[in-house]
Amino acid sequence: MPGVTGDHYFTAEPATAAQPREVEFSVAGRDYTLASAAGVFSADRLDPGTAVLLRKAQLPAADAAGPLLDVGCGFGPITCVLATCAPAATVWAVDVNQRARDLTAANAARVGVADRVRVVAPDDVPAEVRFAQIWSNPPIRIGKGELHELLLRWLPRLAPDGVAWLVVAKHLGGDSLQRWLVEQGWQVERHASQKGYRVLRVTR
């Protein structure tokens, strides 16, 4: 998604002026108004894939202990929903894009969950943390090799009975990603399919 400066949404330090804005959406009967900015993924609206994920996947229960992980948090919609649904859980949010991390931290404060949300660069997640749930609308556009590397980095950090929820557009390879995950030894269920998006439920 190049902008005038050549930024991609996964640029580490977007050069584009931030041009702050707000994104409104509702999930599970709750309304969210989050801060967004140029230089991050889907800056002007809740991404339709993320919307399908949050509508179709099984959101964490109110007593979910966590920790939960949002891989590629962008401006933080998934993180904010997870932290709101699971008020006892810590949510880790990782992204390579500094502006995305800053927005996620600001949005966690907006929705009153900042005390339980850890927004960090991928290398700054402590090695010993294992996740009860991993959520991601993964960055398909970084390329297949890097996407596979990303998934092979984070999925092994699921707790033994953990579950990962992924959303991938069918036209961007949702079905081949499912096959590849199965080849890697993961149990993968196509939990839902809507508007051209596959919601995958991944377990050990």
Ligand X SMILES: C[S@@+](CC[C@H](N)C(=O)[O-])C[C@H]1O[C@@H](n2cnc3c(N)ncnc32)[C@H](O)[C@@H]1O
Residue ranges that bind ligand X, judged by CB under 6 A: 9-10, 41-42, 47, 50, 71-74, 77-78, 94-97, 100, 122, 137, 139, 142, 150
Q: Which residues lie closer than 8 Å to 78 by C-beta, 6 or more apart? A: 50, 53, 54, 70, 135, 136, 137
> What sign results for the dihedral spanned by CA atoms 53, 82, 141, 187?
negative
Least distance CB 79 / ligand X (angstroms): 8
User: Residue 15: which of 47, 40, 34 has the closest Cα?
Assistant: 40
Which residue's beta carbon is nearest to the bound ligand X? 72
Q: Which lies closer to ligand X via its Cβ, residue 100 or residue 163?
A: 100
Upstream peptide bond of 67 is cis (omega within 30 degrees of 0): yes
87 DSSP assignment = T
Least distance CB 146 / ligand X (angstroms): 7
Q: Which lies closer to ligand X via its Cβ, residue 187 or residue 196?
A: 196
Q: Which lies closer to ligand X via its Cβ, residue 82 or residue 89?
A: 82
Least distance CB 204 / ligand X (angstroms): 22
Q: Which lies closer to ligand X via its Cβ, residue 97 or residue 107?
A: 97
Tell me if 181 sits within 8 A of 201, measured CB to CB. no
Least distance CB 99 / ligand X (angstroms): 9
Q: Which lies closer to ligand X via its Cβ, residue 152 or residue 187?
A: 152
Least distance CB 183 / ligand X (angstroms): 21
Q: Which lies closer to ligand X via its Cβ, residue 25 or residue 186?
A: 25
Tell me if 11 sits within 8 A of 39, measured CB to CB. yes
d(C-alpha 144, C-alpha 165), whole Å: 19
Least distance CB 149 / ligand X (angstroms): 8
Q: Which residues lie closer than 8 Å to 23 by C-beta, 6 or more apart? A: 33, 34, 35, 36, 43, 44, 45, 46, 75, 77
